[in-house]
Structures are given as C-alpha cells and as structure tokens.
Amino acid sequence: MDHLLYGLSHLQAEKLELGLVSTVAAALCPAHCGYQEYRYLMQHPEVHKIAARIEEQLSKLVAQDRSAILDRNKLSTLDWSAMQQRGIHQQALPEPLPAYQNDTLTEYHYFSGRSDRYLSPLLDRNVSPTAQRMIQENMGDIFNNNPELSELFSQQRDAFMAQFRARLPWPEYRQQLVAYIKSQREVEPRLAPVWNKIDEGIALVDSYHQSFRQNQRQPFAALTNRDLTGDMVISHWIRYAHQHAPQFEDYNQLFSTNLKSKIAEQPEANASTLYNINTLIAVYPRLRGSDGTGTARLRFEYMDAFSRVGDQLWLSNGIDHIVFLYENGAWRLDQICRIAADSYQLCPIIPAETISST
C-alpha cells in the first residue's frame, strides 16, 4: 500500500465524481499523498481558484476548436504553471517530531516489508537453535564422572536425538519431546537424572519464549508520556519501529502483550496482522527524504483521528482500525487492521465500548 492510502482510492462511495478540482488537488498533493492531505486540498479555496482558471482557459480553447480537448499540443499552450505549486497544504501541517536517529545502526535500514522477520522469535514456526542449545546446556556435565549413566544413555541416544533434532513449531516440538521423556521414564527409570535435566531445559525455553511476550521495559522515551495525542503516538511509534526493527529486544517492546500472544499462538491466522504492521512501518522510509516535513505530514494524517478510552487510543473508521494501549509505562500497538491494498475491502468498524485488549 503506497504511503497511507493511494491518492484517489480512499473515498468509499457509491458514486465518485472526478473533475478539475480533483485533478488539481491530486497534482498539488506531495509525493505519497495522504488521505487527509488530499482531502484538505480538495476543500481549499486556492485549489478551487486554480481549477476555475484552468476551466476558463479550457472553455475558450474548446469554443475555438472542440477537438482541442484531445490534442496535447494545443492543451500545452495553456497556462498550467499553477499546477506546480507544492506549498498550499504545508500551512496546515503541525510541528514535526524532534529529530531522531538510532545511532546503533551502522547503515541506513530500509524496512524490508517483512515484520515476520523481525518478530520471528514470537512466531515459533520451527524450534530455534537457541531453544535446543538451552536444553543441551542445561544438561551440563551430568555425564562427567558417571560412566554408568553415560553408558545407559548411549543406548537411548539415537532415539533421543531423532526427537531432539525434529523441525517443528515449538508447541508441537515441546509436546512431542515431553511425551517421549515421559515414556522413557517408564522404560529406563535409572536415567531419571537425565530426563529431569531435559524437563528443566524445556521449562527454561518456555520462560525464554514467554519473556518475549511480556513488556517490562520502556526503551523509547517519547512513548512513555501517557498524555500524548494519538497523532503523536502513532508518528513516534512508526519511526521507532522502523529505526529499531533489526533489534528485536527493543522492537518487541512496541507491541502489547495481548498482540504478541496472538501472533505467537496463531501466526498463520494473524498473517494479515503482520502485513498490516508492515504497511504501517513502511510509511517512514518513504517520508525519510525530509524528516521534519515527513513527520509533520504523518501527524497531519492522524490529527484528531484517535479517541482516548481509558488506557487506550483507538481509531476505527473502516480505512484503519488501530488501537494503542498504555501498558507498563509506555504506549504499545495492541490492534491493527488496514484497508486491503488489493481489493480495498474496508476494516470492520468497531465501536469504542467493544474495544478491549483483554
């Protein structure tokens, strides 16, 4: 999805009329024109004056030669200079965000459009080498100076390694490994110290995965201000998400516990959520050319769009359904739906009283 919405595709109506005013507004809207920018220009008196002047010229030209309306050479004789203006909308822009750059990035990071890459520790599609290493490390030196235990385990090693090396999503991998350990406790109870260590390792991995879903830190200072308006929250959030996507431990803190749990537990069912996160973050690099103006434009797009309900800032208008939750001292993304880029199918409009992160 190009920027916030495609220039003329945002208006959902049974009848859409295009004319000189819409043509002028589209021409004067800056690169990656946003819905509110286009809407502002459509209503601006200067845009209507420009359209009227062009219409007057066209009327005179057509009066002399009706076919001229289809002749590019004749149309080029008209004065189109007013269509080159680019500053009309800027008078309405709010203050840009303070300048910010993640200095730990060694080179400019262009968000790749793959939030599943940056949230991969949550997705658990396959057990990670980290999880397997944690289980192995927890076994420690249990076989050292214990030749009898080592000999007993050597008889089970091949069967155990077949289970241990399986490539499955963590929930399935865990279930299979736990079931195997349980059965082996009955087959060879003398290996109980080994089975106990493996069970402890599985519990450590569970704790490790659970830590991704918890929000105990506030790495982004601007988002700790509970009184921020919605346009400020979403603008800061988008910039932080883009700048810190490669650093999972910080990036992870931009999402609510509720949203991370849903993604972790049902990654395939939440594929559209991941895609919508992508489109939201991808706004930032498109505006990067002039960061001050870019963040002001981003704020303008969401000015007065969010409502505050308790610890939530919510926006639900069919084009966007975005909810931020103030959780453990910072604003975090809790829900997201965006108009479909391929079909322009609207998001469900959810009344404020039904929005909950629980």
CA atoms within 13 Å, Cβ hemisphere of 188: 19
| Per-residue model confidence as pLDDT tens digits over 78-133 | 888 888 887 888 888 899 888 888 887 765 555 555 566 667 666 655 666 778 88
- 136 within 8 A of 201, measured Cβ to Cβ: yes
Instruction: Report whether pLDDT(47) > 70.
Output: yes
9: phi then psi, degrees, rounded to nearest 5: -95, 0
Reduce the secondary structure of 264-306 to three states and give it as a string.
Answer: HHCCCCCHHHHHHHHHHHCHHHHHHHHHHHHHHHHHHHCCCCC
Which pLDDT does position 357 carry in this prediction? 45
Closest to 287 measured CA to CA, from 94, 1, 3: 3
pLDDT at 170 over 70: yes
The model's confidence at residue 355, banded by pLDDT at 50, 70 and 90, is low
Q: What percent of the chain has pLDDT over 90?
A: 34
The whole-number average pLDDT for the span 310-329 is: 93
The SS3 call for residue 314 is: strand
Please give the mean pLDDT across all residues of the chain. 83
Strand ordering across the sheet containing 312-316 = 307-309, 312-316, 320-327, 330-338
Asked if pLDDT for residue 224 goes beyond 50, the answer is yes
Residue with tokens 């999402």: 255
pLDDT higher for 167 or 57? 57
Q: Sort 248 into a burial class: Cβ within 10 Å, 0-12 / 13-18 / 19+.
A: middle
- Cα–Cα distance, 70 to 80 (Å, whole number): 16
Confidence of residue 3 (pLDDT cuts 50, 70, 90): very low
| Range with lowest mean pLDDT among 84-88, 158-162, 175-179, 312-316 | 84-88
pLDDT band at 336 (very low <50, low <70, confident <90, very high): very high
pLDDT tens digit sequence for 237-262: 999 998 888 888 888 899 999 998 88
What confidence tier does 183 reach under pLDDT thresholds 50, 70, 90? very high
| Average pLDDT rounded to a whole number, residues 307-322 | 91
Say how many C-beta atoms besides its own lie within 10 A of residue 165's C-beta: 9
